[in-house]
Amino acid sequence: MSDSATRTTEKTTSETKVVSNFIRHIIDKDISNNKNDGKVVTRFPPEPNGYLHIGHAKSICLNFGLAQDYQGVCNLRFDDTNPEKEELEYIDSIKKDVSWLGFEWKGEPRFASDYFAQLYQYAIDLIKAGKAYVCSLSPDEAREYRGSLTEAGKDSPYRDQSVAENLDLFARMKQGEFDEGEKVLRAKIDMASPNLNMRDPILYRIRKVEHHQTGNEWCIYPMYDYTHCLSDAIEGITHSLCTLEFEDHRPLYDWVLEQLQTPNHPQQIEFARLNLNYTITSKRKLKQLVDDNHVLGWDDPRMPTISGLRRRGYTSASIRDFSDRIGVTKVDGVVDMSTLEFCIREDLEHSAPRAMCVINPLKVTIESWAEDEVQELSAPRHPKDESMGRRTLKMTRVIYIDRSDFEEVPPPKYKRLTVDKEVRLRNSYVIKCEQVIKDEQGEVIELRCSHDADTLGKKPEGRKVKGVIHWVSEQQSMPAEVRLYDRLFTVENPDAAAKKHEDDDSHFLDFLNPDSFKVMANARAEISLAGTQPGDAFQFEREGYFTADPDTSSDKLVFNRTVSLRDSWAKAGNK
């Protein structure tokens, strides 16, 4: 990786707009006062206990974007202090996501575990200064002693142990003499503090599990609040950006650094996290969806994970645009899913070539067409971008149209195909339905039609044909599987809807959308899509934007619907 944080963009520099916010105001003031020698050093510190989601994308864009815009650097640092829940799979996925979004970190990826020896020595320094002690209260006793929001806590009976005794016990904790939960190292602050985070918080606990980076070297692991501030200080971070839930933790962040008088004292700044409606952004709950097989994995295209969005067909440019549009504030709120969908529509409108795919095929025989005749027709790959060139369509006697484009008894103002009426085939001829063929159950299985040979590229004489529908040839088309996705939940805020069950927060599962995933296994795609590779994106005319799934092969195309052409969810009254 390069020695500075960089961001690649899919738009020209002239199109990139920098929108100011309160964090930029702080940085601008710091630079004008030559604080930190005018340097800007940020970090993105994910815990490798799951795949990153859209909320992390906002943080990635913010931290790396600020470093880029102020000619600074940004570190990627894994907060790996909880080895029970962390995996190398998650580390690899996080690195992939950051790179895919268009960012590079300074040097090699860093790990909080890189600093375990320094953190241990800092803990010893706190003990020697009388600012930390080893506590032997059981977890239940510790909760009782902690107090509540309305009641002050009580001092632990172990709080006044001598420095020598605390040093001895802490060393024995490190050597593995005690069982998990038997002893912890706590900061000595104020058990009567109105901020519960300052009531002698735990700094170290015993965990006898193998660590993915350090193996079995350690059996005590530092807590996040202790590790976070010191890792920032060790790396020379200038602006440590966190979401609002860490605002009450800032006094502890500053207390640790002040007690240890570290050479660097980063500034913690909190901003509102991203909350997106009709989904969840709790890694624990996302993991539950995966583990309980409610979805098909972390990269299920219904998931708000970056890998899920990527597989669905979202581009890195669209997610960066989304992050810029929603902005950075100090007030929590909920962003409408339609904003994210708008960003990908805007991107793909300009970049995705056009094609035709019949998702739910209905056979049409054009009886006026010779049986063995194959006519090549030409159509633009993009109506507004000639540089994309043209594509070849094959017109034959038997074609497919979508079942939704035919009604035997049409509603008022119907503009598609019906009996004894005409409709134009996209980039082709005008056809007229002459006969409807049904099976024994009365279901329409075929249409018999005629065509007007004098309507290729021009209007029919003496009459007006209003409707235009898409089609593909039966023989000159590709088999395809089309996967349709919708909102993962049926309610805007599944967490809030589940709060009535105070004893069990798993009730968010009650609001999973049973129609969020539908497979159309018998779709047919135009012949020009032969050779499509995973990740290729198209606008299927009249249907929406679709991206080839990794399951695509030379034998069968598999497409994920990235987004519809319009916000059909809002139109249906679901918002």
Residue 173 pLDDT level (bands cut at 50, 70, 90): very high
453-511, pLDDT tens digit by residue?
A: 999 999 998 899 989 999 999 999 999 999 999 999 999 999 887 776 666 678 899 99
Please give the pLDDT value at position 18. 67
Dist CA 236 CA 265 (whole Å): 8
| Residue 300 clears pLDDT 60, i.e. is over it | yes
Domain 116-225: CATH class, spelled out: alpha beta
Measured in residues, the chain has a length of 575
The superfamily CATH assigns to domain 355-475 is Ribosomal Protein L25; Chain P (2.40.240.10)
Residue 12 pLDDT level (bands cut at 50, 70, 90): very low
| Residue 2 clears pLDDT 90, i.e. is over it | no
Beta bridge partners of 431: 423, 451
| Residue 13 clears pLDDT 90, i.e. is over it | no
202-222, pLDDT tens digit by residue?
A: 999 999 999 999 999 999 999
Dist CA 213 CA 220 (whole Å): 14
Please give the pLDDT value at position 495. 85
User: Phi and psi (nearest 5°) for 481?
Assistant: -110, 125
Dist CA 185 CA 165 (whole Å): 12
* Spacing of C-alpha 531 from chain mean position: 28
Please give the pLDDT value at position 456. 96
Cβ distance 405 to 469 under 8 Å? yes
Q: Of the given ranges (119-128, 355-364, 415-424, 494-503), which has the lowest mean pLDDT?
A: 494-503
Q: Helix, strand or coil for residue 177?
A: coil
Please give the pLDDT value at position 107. 92
Smallest CA-to-CA distance from 143 within 200, 220, 227, 223 is with: 200
Burial label for 343, CB within 10 Å (0-12, 13-18, 19+), is buried
Please give the pLDDT value at position 566. 86
Please give the pLDDT value at position 9. 39
Please give the pLDDT value at position 570. 54
209: DSSP letter: S
Q: Of the given ranges (5-9, 54-58, 524-528), which has the lowest mean pLDDT?
A: 5-9
| Residue 572 clears pLDDT 60, i.e. is over it | no
Residue 19 pLDDT level (bands cut at 50, 70, 90): confident
Q: Helix, strand or coil for residue 151?
A: coil
| Residue 568 clears pLDDT 70, i.e. is over it | no
- Average pLDDT (84-110) is 96
Dist CA 100 CA 45 (whole Å): 17
322-375, pLDDT tens digit by residue?
A: 999 999 999 988 999 999 999 999 999 999 999 999 999 999 999 999 999 999
Residue 32's contacts (CB-CB under 8 Å, 6 or more residues apart) are none
Dist CA 393 CA 376 (whole Å): 6
The superfamily CATH assigns to domain 275-351+479-575 is Glutamyl-trna Synthetase; Domain 2 (1.10.1160.10)
| Residue 75 clears pLDDT 90, i.e. is over it | yes
Domain coordinates of the chain in residue numbers?
116-225, 275-351+479-575, 355-475
| Residue 567 clears pLDDT 90, i.e. is over it | no
Dist CA 132 CA 130 (whole Å): 6
Burial label for 10, CB within 10 Å (0-12, 13-18, 19+), is middle
Torsion-angle region of 200 (φ positive above 0: left; ψ -120 to 50: alpha; else: beta): left
Dist CA 126 CA 135 (whole Å): 14
234-276, pLDDT tens digit by residue?
A: 999 999 999 999 999 999 999 999 999 999 999 999 999 999 9
Residue 194's contacts (CB-CB under 8 Å, 6 or more residues apart) are none
Please give the pLDDT value at position 502. 63
Residue 196 pLDDT level (bands cut at 50, 70, 90): very high
Query: What is the set of active-site residues?
Result: 47, 273, 283
More confident residue, 499 or 295: 295
Please give the pLDDT value at position 466. 87
**Mean pLDDT taken over the chain:** 94
